[in-house]
Structures are given as C-alpha cells and as structure tokens.
Amino acid sequence: MNTIGRHVSQPKDLVRASDRLSFLYLDRCVVNRDSNAITATDERGTVHIPAAAVGVLLLGPGTTITHQAITLMSDSGSTVVWVGERGVRYYAHGVSLARSSRLLLAQAEAVTNTRSRLRVARAMYEMRFPDEDVSTLNMQQLRGREGARVRRVYREHSERTGVDWTSRTYDVDDWDAGDEVNKALSATNAALYGIVHSIIVALGCSPALGFVHTGHHRSFVYDIADLYKAELTIPVAFDIAASSCDDIAGEARRRVRDALHKGKLLQRCTRDIQRLLLGDEADDKTGDDYFEVDVLSLWDERHESVPGGVSYRSDT
C-alpha cells in the first residue's frame, strides 16, 4: 500500500505540441494498449495510434478503455476527456495535457488584478466585435455594447429564417415552457459549453476563474463559449426552429457537432485561450515549450522560484 502511494512515474521525453495530433476523438470502440501505442478496436478492425503523438484523447459514446491505456496516456503527457458524441458534451477528464502550471498561473494572476482582468475582458470583446474599438471601455460599457450587438444578431437571424423572436427566455426546470427557438438555443449552447469545457481542462486552466462571468464553477467556460455563439450556435438554433423538427435537442446536438468539426473549433479555441492568457508570448515556439516543460520549483518571496530537489538545510 505504501509502495503504491509513493510511486511516481518518471516523465519521458515528450513529443512537441506542434508535432502532435491536437485532439483525437474515438467512439464505439475498445481502447487498449500495445507497447507505446493505444489501440482502438471495433468491428472493422484495430488501429494503432502512438500515445505520445496525441495531445488530448476525447472518448465519445460506446467507448471502453483499459487501465493500461490510461496509464500510457498519463505517462505520455496526454489527457483523456470523456465527452458526448463528437466531443459535444463534457463529462469528466483525467490528467491535464499541460506539464507546467504556467497557463493556470497566468489565468489566476490576470483574474485577481483589476487592470489585467479588464485587459483580458476587453480582448474577449475585441475578438467578438472586431469592427468596434473597445480599448477604453469599462465593464459596464462593454456589457452595454454586448447587449446591443447580441440583440442585433438575434434580429438578423429572425429575419433570415422567418422565425419570430421576442427575447431570450428559458426555464432550466421546465424545458417545454420555452418556444422552439429558445429550446434550440439552450440545446446548442449546452453543446458548445461541453466542448469548450473539454478544451479548458485539457489545457490545465481552471473552468471557474472567469473574466467576464464570475462566481460559478464554469465561469471561464461561459467566457470562452461566448466568443463563438454569434457565428455558431445562434444561426444553428434559428435554422432548427425554422425546420420545425420534432427532436429539437437531438437535432441541435447533431448540427452543432458538425459545425464545430467543420470549423475546427478545437484548434481555434486552444489558440484563443493561449492568446488571451499569455498575450504576446503565445507564439508557436512558446506555446510548444509551455506544454512540454516538466519542472518542479519551490516558491521564494525574493526570487519568485528556486530549483526543487535541492537540500536547503542551514546549520546556523
């Protein structure tokens, strides 16, 4: 028992992030291990994937994974996330892809300082509204701009599809109380939250430390998801409402799944999060180095950090 509790696997030489498959999605198969590769087996046969070449393994419905495969993924510096079909819903995750806490520390430092928090919030709004100058706006002004812009987006898609639109209303405890377009919006947004949550935990960030949203365990998830709603979930929701389908929730999941896959949201969201938290440091070289660093240091109030694994005993 003590031996198991004290065992720590030694880090291996890891493949650079730029040379990995950023995200690999598997469903309806058995995932096992064969030497340094994970295997995916279904009725069509078995596929071998080098574990060190995978950044994040997304396990969809119908997958079974062995303990040996999980161990290999962990030793390879990869993470495993249990998700819905095509990565649409987030359920749980294993070890983070990040071997350094640098991105998490950058997030925590930025969110706990008023100036840096406002800087990141402004950057988020700039990404959503690239044709507007928000560099001098405070949070109240930013919220006002956002409200006006989002209402305009709703009106535009209402006119495009012919779907009546009054306001965004929904009851989390009563799905049937909403009209078709509000049901579709709730379903498409839930799907978007799932994939964004998966990316955030895979990068080693905290889903709770939001910049615009606050006080919720998924505040940062809502921050990042808002970057993509106007171009992804809102138009899909209005299209669904216009089609008068019987299964709004199911159709929403399928359409969002296809839209996210086509738009390569996984890779895009990863770059956006790094750019928001690291700023000018989020270039290709720094991004790769960040994920592959495996250094344990000790905090020091004068020098910020000192090397770990060193005896600092003083005989005085």
Reduce the secondary structure of 34-86 to three states and give it as a string.
ECCEEEEEECCEEEEEEHHHEEEEEECCCCEECHHHHHHHHHCCCEEEEECHH
Rounded CA gap, 272 and 103, in Å? 13
> 226 a known binding residue?
yes
> 213 a known binding residue?
yes
For residue 54, with 0-12 CB atoms within 10 Å meaning exposed, 13-18 middle and 19 or more buried, which class applies? Answer: buried
Nearest to 123 by CA among 135, 114, 139: 135
> 251 a known binding residue?
no
Rounded CA gap, 16 and 8, in Å? 22
Write the CA distances from 219 to 85, 207, 216, integer angstroms: 24, 6, 5
3-state DSSP: the chain helix, strand, coil percent, rounded to 5? Answer: 50, 15, 35
For residue 34, with 0-12 CB atoms within 10 Å meaning exposed, 13-18 middle and 19 or more buried, which class applies? Answer: middle
Q: Mark the binding-site residues, compressed into ranges.
A: 146, 213, 226
Q: Mark the binding-site residues for Mn(2+), compressed into ranges.
A: 146, 213, 226
